[in-house]
Amino acid sequence: MSAPAVRREIPYRYRLMGTKCLNCGALFHPPQRICPKCGSKDLVEEELAWRGRLVAYTVIRRPPKGYEDYKPYIVGLIELKDGKLILAQIVDCDIEEVRPGLKLEATFRRIREDGKSGIIEYGYKFRPVIEWNWQKKPNPEK
Amino acid sequence: MKPLSAVGIVGYAGYIPIYRIKAAEIGRVWGTGCKYPIIEKAVAAIDEDATTMAVEAARYAVARAQINPEEIGAIYVGSESKPYAVKPSGTIVAEALGISSQLLAADYEFACKAGTEAFQTCIALVASGMVKYGMAIGADTAQGRPSDELEFTAASGAAAFIFGKKSEETIAYVEGTHSYSTDTPDFWRRPEEPYPSHYWRFTGKPAYFKHVLSAAKGLMEELNLTPDDFDYAVFHQPNTKFPLAAAKMLGIEEEKIKPGLLVPIIGNTYSASSPLGLAATLDVAKPGDRILMVSYGSGAGSDAFSFVVQEAIEWKRPLAPPIAAFVNRKKLVDYACYTRYRRKLRK
Ligand SMILES: [Zn+2]
């Protein structure tokens, strides 16, 4: 992707920024200027939920150009907490571990690189939710 | 150095990647002995770099700070493993957090102390009233030359601290900071070299200990404090031995550095090393506790800080994961996977 194209897509790739139709309530990611559902032009920026659940997935073993370094990788269909469905790469998760229903959260990663000298594209991927519990005393020696 | 008006930490957080490699696995490949400087080190995934980890830590720090990210007026990222040789990391972090473009941003470099220099700049900018909040980040995917002794410890991680005027919202306030720097060629990397070089004879006494102890003593003198006044201490952690020895030389009990001593299980995270140790210490500290933190950067210099923990720690702490959550979340990889993830193999 060219540098200007990367620049334009930053808000929705870096921050899950979409648009919401004020007329019918539909949420769009990537953002839309005119609602494809009801034709309204009354849309506002809205960030999607950061957490969700894996609905379905596939393993990519023959990736498109620019993604070869990451193969094999998991691409999942994720249902976010706001009900929006989103396609994203699943990371920090072995192929043997992945299963529908897995609780996921957005993470910021490299998406692909334009060779050795071009732009590095960054954006969201999803990983299994990092669970924490402050009741348990942190034990860094474990 | 004391700020003219009181400054504190409004939010903090760390990030450690999920992968680990055991020092013994590196030793198995290179046929080195069985005494290792650490147990295992954190390895960033193939799609992670210093900037992505900085974003992770920064997001959690904002969550814990409970501030509108648009009020952050400055971002400084300290790193010796920037993904771009020329192009700032701070602007990528700002965009990922939705921080306004009315922003001061720059990257810092000073080997392993680039993160704490960012602390000092943010403290000064807040104290002078030039910005409301400033964010200082230390982030590195440190690399050691294959089979070099640095390869056993050079690790990946990030920590982010947001500074603001001292108030009921601050987690800990800054009592003062003190730096000590000299031209000491103990470790360096020339342009276009993938791995650093080091001069082993210099790394201990004339480098790490001289600078760490001088900065710590200078700070205590300036603030009229003694080692006994500190409830916790965090020193830069190039290996397990050095911070333990520094504490001993200063007369600080081992118990006081234990909560922040992460190097045996995550390695030396360079610019993130002492900031992650401080984060882990804040995870267990109580209001009123005083924490000494001393970084060390080869080349060489140390920044020492004294922080006093405030009440807000109690309600802000649970708003982001403890460092222990990242420490306990791990997947071991072998040397082959590690070389692939860290792009040590040339295609
Ligand atoms: Zn609509």
Alpha helices in B204-317 (DSSP H): 210-223, 241-250, 254-257, 263-266, 273-282, 312-316
- Counting residues of chain B whose pLDDT is more than 90, the rounded percentage is 89
pTM beyond 0.90: the answer is yes
- Amino acid present at B140: D
Name the nearest CA neighbour of A31 among A40, A21, A39: A21
Closest partner residue to B318 among A15, A111, A134, by Cβ?
A: A134
Topology annotation, domain A49-131: OB fold (Dihydrolipoamide Acetyltransferase, E2P) (2.40.50)
Specify whether the CB–CB gap between B80 and B64 falls below 8 A.
Answer: no
Does residue B347 sit within a domain? no
Name the nearest CA neighbour of B245 among B209, B298, B293, B211: B209
Does residue B2 sit within a domain? no
Residue A115: per-residue pLDDT: 84
Domain with B52, as residue range(s), is 7-171+329-341
Residues B162 and B180 in one domain: no
Check if A67 contacts B (Cβ < 8 Å).
no
Residue A8: per-residue pLDDT: 79
Residues B164 and B283 in one domain: no
CATH of the domain at B288: 3.40.47.10
Cite the active site residues of B.
80, 112, 236
Residue B162: per-residue pLDDT: 98
Residues B167 and B202 in one domain: no
Domain count, chain B: 2
pLDDT at A141 over 70: no
Between strands B232-235 and B290-294, the pairing is parallel
Rounded (10°) CA dihedral B115, B15, B268, B347:
-100
Residues B283 and B180 in one domain: yes
Residues B251 and B289 in one domain: yes
Closest partner residue to B45 among A14, A92, A131, by Cβ?
A: A92
Name the nearest CA neighbour of A91 among A125, A120, A118: A125
Residues B229 and B115 in one domain: no
Residues B193 and B282 in one domain: yes
Residue A138: per-residue pLDDT: 47
Q: Flag if A69 and B18 touch (Cβ within 8 Å).
A: no
Please write down the long-range contacts of B338-343, taking CB distance under 8 Å and 24 or more positions apart.
Answer: B338/B19, B338/B21, B338/B25, B338/B43, B339/B146, B340/B46, B341/B19, B341/B43, B341/B44, B341/B45, B341/B46, B342/B43, B342/B44, B342/B141, B342/B143, B343/B46
Residues B136 and B271 in one domain: no
CB pairs under 8 A between A and B: 79
Residues B181 and B247 in one domain: yes
Residues B178 and B257 in one domain: yes
Residues B230 and B126 in one domain: no
